[in-house]
């Protein structure tokens, strides 16, 4: 097999690390073990990656990091593409594939358990150090195992990915502390509002029944939507203010 156009695993990592700083040889090997990559092998057993393999890896990393897709979904789409079946993965370019796949959530098994901190990069594409920073800021809470390992709640994986995308806009864990403070303060407001709503409108019953829980969730969801709309509007007005009320620039030379 000719070597022209083929890269070793180390060169592949070096090639993509500028765009994906958290990429490592161990992560590429993990993707191989999971069946998402299948590079060629030399007679002596060394893996060599073609340009198609590199593009496939770029697609996986892009979807995992920017579109929050779990590896199981990415693998299914790529397998459909390999089989020539119509799917969102009919084109291997990251932009095309990412724009056509609907954003899913993690599967119930992943969400419903604790994960060792050192495995979170494989699940989210986010470094363990960044996850620890989120914990220090109070955005998420790490659990300590009996053996002294830090564990991440599966329910926090989606939030971790969102926070990771925010830092590309210069909004880091320290900036997010204000939302932790706001959430702690506003949660009591919502709890009180739901009690008042139940007593006044009869919309949420106190009894713990399936119907009551459903109506409770509907009321809570609606309140969240309304308060988020108020918050978004107030912030948008203040951010846009420097650009408002500016008329067309005068041309002094036209006087």
Dump pLDDT digits (tens) for 113-148: 999 999 898 888 888 999 999 999 999 999 999 999
- Hey, what are 77's tokens? 């789409």
Tell me the sheet residues that pair with 104: none
Percentage of residues in the chain having pLDDT higher than 70:
76
CATH of domain 9-100: 1.10.1660.10
Q: How far is Cα 242 from Cα 49, in angstroms, rounded to an integer?
A: 51
Rounded mean pLDDT, 52-74: 81
Rounded mean pLDDT, 245-249: 53
* Confidence tier at 8 by pLDDT (50, 70, 90): very high
| Lowest-pLDDT choice from 71-80, 166-175, 236-245 | 236-245
- CA dihedral 200→205→211→216, nearest 10 degrees, is 70
Rounded mean pLDDT, 205-210: 60
Q: How far is Cα 28 from Cα 45, in angstroms, rounded to an integer?
A: 16
pLDDT of residue 95: 44
pLDDT of residue 245: 56
| Lowest-pLDDT choice from 63-67, 85-89, 156-160 | 85-89
Q: Buried b / exposed e across 128-163, counting CB within 10 Å, b at 16+? A: bebbbbbbebebbebeeeeeeebbbbbebbeebbeb
pLDDT of residue 100: 39
Condensed to tens digits (0 to 9), the pLDDT of residues 168-180 reads 788 999 999 999 9
pLDDT of residue 193: 85
pLDDT of residue 209: 67
Higher pLDDT, 229 or 89: 229
CATH of domain 108-169: 1.10.1660.10
Average pLDDT in the chain: 79
Domain limits of the chain? Answer: 9-100, 108-169, 178-241
Tell me if domain 9-100 and domain 108-169 are identical in fold.
yes
Phi, psi at 206, each rounded to 5°: -75, -30
pLDDT of residue 208: 62
- Hey, what are 227's tokens? 């308060």
* Confidence tier at 92 by pLDDT (50, 70, 90): very low
- Hey, what are 154's tokens? 């599966």
pLDDT of residue 83: 75
Q: What is the pTM of this model?
A: 0.54
């Amino acid at each position: 097999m000719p070597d022209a156009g083929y890269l070793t695993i180390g060169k592949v990592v070096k090639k993509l690390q500028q765009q994906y700083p958290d990429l490592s040889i161990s992560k590429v090997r993990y993707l191989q073990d999971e069946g998402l990559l299948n590079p060629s092998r030399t007679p002596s057993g060394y893996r060599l990656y073609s340009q198609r393999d590199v593009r496939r890896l770029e697609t996986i990393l892009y979807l995992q990091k920017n579109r929050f897709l779990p590896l199981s979904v990415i693998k299914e789409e790529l397998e459909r593409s390999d089989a020539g079946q119509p799917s969102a993965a009919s084109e291997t370019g990251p932009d095309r594939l990412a724009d056509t796949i609907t954003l899913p959530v993690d599967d119930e098994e992943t969400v419903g358990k604790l994960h060792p901190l050192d495995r979170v990069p494989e699940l989210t594409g986010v470094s363990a150090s960044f996850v620890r920073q989120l914990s220090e800021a109070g955005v998420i809470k790490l659990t300590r195992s009996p053996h002294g390992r830090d564990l991440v709640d599966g329910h926090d994986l989606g939030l971790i990915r969102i926070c990771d995308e925010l830092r590309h806009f210069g909004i880091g864990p320290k900036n997010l502390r204000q939302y932790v403070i706001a959430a702690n303060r506003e949660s009591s407001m919502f709890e009180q509002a739901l009690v008042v709503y139940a007593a006044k409108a009869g919309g949420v019953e106190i009894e713990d029944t399936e119907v009551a829980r459903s109506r409770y969730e509907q009321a809570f969801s609606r309140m969240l939507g309304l308060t988020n709309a108020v918050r978004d509007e107030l912030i948008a007005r203040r951010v846009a203010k420097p650009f408002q009320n500016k008329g067309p620039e005068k041309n002094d030379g036209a006087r």
